[in-house]
Amino acid sequence: MASTPLSPASPAAAGTTSVAIDLGDRSYDILIGEGLLQDASAFAGLPKSSKALIVTNTTVGPLYTAALRAAIAPHHKQVLDVELPDGEQYKDWPALNQVFTKLLEEAADRKTVLYALGGGVVGDMTGFAAACYMRGVPFVQVPTTLLAQVDSSVGGKTAINHPAGKNMIGAFYQPQRVICDLVTLDTLPQRELLAGLAEVIKYGPIADAEFLGWLEANLDALLARDRTALKHAIKRSCEIKAWVVGQDEKESGIRAILNYGHTFGHAIEAGLGYGEWLHGEAVGCGMVMAADLSARLGLIDASTAQRITALIKRTGLPVQGPDLGADRYLELMQVDKKAEGGEIRFVVVGPLGQARMQAAPEAMVRDVIATHTA
C-alpha cells in the first residue's frame, strides 16, 4: 500500500508515526504518537485564523480541552469551546445546532477552524458542522478513543443519526489533519477500548490476513493497553483505510468494504435505540453474522468464520445479537446506505483478507439472524 513521507508542513516530534491520505489537493496526514496534545509542532502548518472552536463533550472536555487550547493558541487570536452531551443518542440535530449556535453567537467567519476533540460522535458532528457552516470551514480531527483513531476520524465521512437509520444525514468532508495521541487512551473506559478493537479487527478479514494473525498473537497486549502494540495496530489500521479511501473517497466502490459487519451492526444500534450498545459492540457482533453469511455463501470455510468469531469473543465483544426479530432486522437493513433498489447488500469475506459487496438470499439471511440472536 503506497504511502508518502510526512510533508514539511506537518512536523512531528521524535517517535511520531505518520500515515498519508492521498487525495490530491485534499490530502492530509495522520499523526500517531505520545504526548501530541502537548506538542505544538503537531499542529504546525495548520490553517491560522482569528477564531477557533474546540468541539468536545462533557466527558472529554474537562480532561483535554486545556491542553489542546494551549497547543493551538499560537495559531489563533481566540480559542472558543463548546461541550456537547456525551453519547451516541446525542448524535442528532439538537446537539449539532449547539455547534452552529456557538459559531453564530461568536460571529465566526469562514476561516474559523474547528477542532474535533473526542470520539467518533464528536468527530462526525464536528466534521458535518464544518462542512455546512458557511458552506465549508476547515477542521482538524483530534480523536481520543481507539475507535475514532482507527476509523471514524479518517476518511472524511461525517454524519448524524436519524431514528430510522444510522449516519444517514451527512457529507464527505476531509479534515486538515488527524492527530492521534496515544496518551488519551489511558483515560478510555475498558468498554470503549473493546469497542475500538472491533474496528481494528475488521481490517484483517477484509484486507490483511497477516494482520489478523498479528492481532490474534498480540490481543493480550492490546487489552493491557501496551502502547507499542496499540501504536502498531492504529498505524496498520490507518494504512489500510488510507489505501482504500485513496482509491474511493466517496464510497462508490471498494470503500464499502470498510463497512464489514456494519449492515447487521447498524440494525442492532437502531433497533435497540442509539447508545444502548456501543457502535463497536454492534459491529463486532455484526462481523460474526457477516462471517457466517460468507461461509454460507461458500466464500470461506466454516473454520475461517469460526476463527473470526473466536477473536471477537476473546476480545470481550458480544457475539450474540439482540432478538429484534428477523423482520425488524430486515426492515432496518433496507435503509442501509449499501442497499440498492431495495436489495440489501452485505460486505462478505472471501478469501480471508479480501472482501466484496454481495446480496444474499433472504432465507439465508434469516437463518444467520436466527443463529446469532438471543
End-to-end CA distance of the chain: 40
The set of cell numbers assigned to 41 is 509542532
Between CA 96 and CA 108, with CA 102 as vertex, the angle to 5 degrees is: 115
Q: Which residues are catalytic?
A: 135, 157, 199, 241, 251, 255, 259, 262, 266, 279
Of the candidates 173, 222, 238, 225, the residue with the CA atom closest to the CA atom of residue 17: 238
- DSSP for residue 319: -
Q: Give the amino acid at 164.
A: A
Residues 6+ apart with CB under 8 A from 310: none
CA distance linking residue 283 with residue 289, whole number of Å: 10
Residues 6+ apart with CB under 8 A from 85: 57, 58, 95
Other CB atoms closer than 10 Å to residue 32's CB: what's the count?
25
The crossing angle, in degrees rounded to 10, of helices 279-296 and 262-272 is 130
